[in-house]
Amino acid sequence: MSIRVDVRSDESIESAIRRLRRLCSRDGRPRGRRARTFYEKPSDKRRREARERLKTIRRASKMR
């Protein structure tokens, strides 16, 4: 599966790269790559995912 990002005529390369990173993070690619790099204990995985959820919630509440 590949992700394709077309650079618009009025868009800078930096913003296109940001869009690509956002799409990849929503797709779960960085997390999957990290999981295959080394073994992660189930308890550590739960703890990490809980931290990520809290981080997302805090970020969303700051934007309001």
Mean pLDDT within 40-64: 90
Note if the pTM is more than 0.75. Answer: no
d(CA 5, CA 19): 8
CA dihedral for 40, 44, 48, 50, sign (positive or negative): positive
The pLDDT score that the predictor gives to residue 48 is 92
State yes or no: pLDDT of 55 exceeds 80. yes
The phi, psi pair for 56, rounded to 5°, reads -65, -40
pLDDT band at 53 (very low <50, low <70, confident <90, very high): very high
Looking at residue 46, its pLDDT comes to 94
Percentages of the chain per state (helix, strand, coil), in multiples of 5: 70, 0, 30
User: In 3D, which of 32, 28, 31, 6 has the Cα closest to residue 19?
Assistant: 6
